[in-house]
A and B are shown apart, each in its own frame.
Chain A
Amino acid sequence: MPLLNSGQIIGHYGEARWTPYAEAIASHYVNHVPFYLNVPTGLTGAADEETVVVSRPWKYDVLIFGAYVKGCIEGDDEADMVITEDSDQVITEDGDDVITEAGGGSIGGCDGQQIFLQVADRRSLLPWVTASPINAAPMSAFGGSDGRAMPLLKLPEAFFLPAGVELQHNFSVFGNLATGGSIDWVGVQLINPIGQQSPKEVEMPDGSTIPVGSRIPWFAVIGIGRETTLSGDLRFRFAAGARVLGYTQPVDCDVEIHDISCNFFLSYDNDGGNIDDIQFTLSDTGNRRVWSQNTTPAPALMGDTTKAYPALPWPKPYILKKGDQLELTMTNQGDNADIILTNGYLIIRGVKLCGL
């Protein structure tokens, strides 16, 4: 049985994912040196802001393995409350004041869940994130963040960035305010190519020869719930008892699906919801033999920034054929009408097999 083109080990923890593709490319170079590329978002705290940031071209070829993100949004601007349960006492010593901020804003989260990003290299201009529904994915689907179980999140496949080519980043926010933040790409510089020339093709475990640059990241985003607008801001709202169908955009070539990430475990939990109430069934529109009979709680299907695997890998990558879509049936099994999952997204991550 041939080895998997995606590599025999699924979901390394913590270090670069040296897939057969990455190993094959790197073997054409004498020297490998760690590489870190810092890209600020340029966001300034304006409403519905969008920025475009282009990285500096680098003098060496680079393999990008993953990223670290930092992106804080401002929380609700309400006066502080001291919340107690029935019969609780707030005990102070004589003369003490209980000090709260008046009308202060709270940080709404710094893991990039509500700052959105689209990426493309300036040679191919092939976007990493599908156009539907928002032409971007939460930053938390691209990188891990500090203070969480996994500071670095690996891409499904190492991305080959040729020397002299920039990466274009489109950052955006919907209905939230964000200032600053950044994404730091982490990878390996490839120096001194053997034969003085970067490789054009590499051989894969199944014996096929593919062009370098033909395996590029693929992020398909599905908004969780019904799409609405509120004061001109795009919202996805998923109320208790709701049941909604969602689809990935049809793929324009075969895609190797690796894992699923989402951005709502922390926020839904903070709102008093139970993430096990958000449940899904999964099927492939082009292959009706791929389906699930029962709904599955979200944590069994997807990761988020609070988990050791921010993108939870499937046991084995699955090939979604050209023109087909993944169909998700979403149900909210919660029973509290006041707890609504807002602006939740799930991101199906994989490798597009026709980059160049």
Chain B
Amino acid sequence: MFYISKRTQEILDCYQNHLPIVDTVQIGFTGTASERPPRCETDQVSADVLWFALNRDFAQTDVLISIQSITPQYAWMISAQAQPQLTPIGAVAGASDQVMPLLPLPTPFFVESNGVITMQFQNSATDPVDEGLITWIGVKLTGPINGGWRGYTASK
């Protein structure tokens, strides 16, 4: 299911140990239509992590999401509208009631130790979610070789 590209293999080769990691984050919906709860974020991890895929525990398709990473700092989403619209959750995370409960990212994303990924959600306008969980699936990278992978600051 997960494809290890050359870049992903390059990252994995910089660490002695590759351990599974699962991080479930509470979104904080209160059941209000179109609400935007405060940003939530993945937990800080004491090692570098490669995140591979996402799952959500609700079926509503008109929940929206915007993702930004911290360390390294990148925005993931843009919109063609003058009034930016967040991205439908169905393009980003699998749903538990679907045949594909995990949706892989277009490329595994590397986060340095203690870095986080922040998420801004907008609730469904028609069938609001109460509470809501989003789960990140990845590989924890321990035993760095020569300091581990630092591609984001590398120069060749």
Interfacial residues, chain A to chain B (CB-CB below 8 A): 9, 12-16, 18, 23, 26-27, 30-40, 53-56, 58, 65-68, 70, 145-152, 182, 184, 186-189, 191-192, 194, 308
> When the two chains form their complex, are residues B107 and A13 in contact, meaning their CB atoms are under 8 A apart?
no
Shortest Cβ distance from B2 into A: residue? A15
Cα separation A146 to B151 with both chains bound (whole Å)? 34
Cα separation A192 to B152 with both chains bound (whole Å)? 8
Residues of A close to B81: CB separation below 8 A: 38, 40
> When the two chains form their complex, are residues A38 and B99 in contact, meaning their CB atoms are under 8 A apart?
no
> When the two chains form their complex, are residues B88 and A70 in contact, meaning their CB atoms are under 8 A apart?
yes
Interface stretch, picked from B33-41, B90-98, B135-143, is B90-98
Which of A15, A33, A66, A146 sits near B74, CB closer than 8 Å?
A33
Q: Mark interface residues in B29-51 (1 if CB within 8 Å of A CB, else 0).
A: 00000000000000000000000
> When the two chains form their complex, are residues A36 and B154 in contact, meaning their CB atoms are under 8 A apart?
no
Cα separation A13 to B104 with both chains bound (whole Å)? 10
Within 8 A of A (CB), among B73-102: 74, 76-81, 85-92, 94-95, 98-100, 102
Residues of B close to A67: CB separation below 8 A: 91
Shortest Cβ distance from A70 into B: residue? B88
B126 within 8 A of A: no
State whether A146 and B95 are in contact (beta carbons under 8 Å apart), knowing that A34-B106, A38-B87, A56-B80 are contacts in the complex.
yes
Known: A23-B5, A186-B91. 12 other contacts (CB 8 A): A9-B3, A15-B2, A16-B107, A30-B154, A30-B155, A34-B107, A36-B77, A38-B77, A54-B80, A147-B61, A152-B103, A182-B88
Cα separation A32 to B105 with both chains bound (whole Å)? 12
State whether A33 and B91 are in contact (beta carbons under 8 Å apart), knowing that A26-B7, A70-B61 are contacts in the complex.
no
Enumerate 13 A-B pairs (CB-CB under 8 Å) in ascending A order.
A23-B5, A31-B72, A35-B77, A36-B87, A37-B77, A38-B79, A39-B80, A56-B80, A70-B90, A184-B91, A187-B106, A194-B156, A308-B99
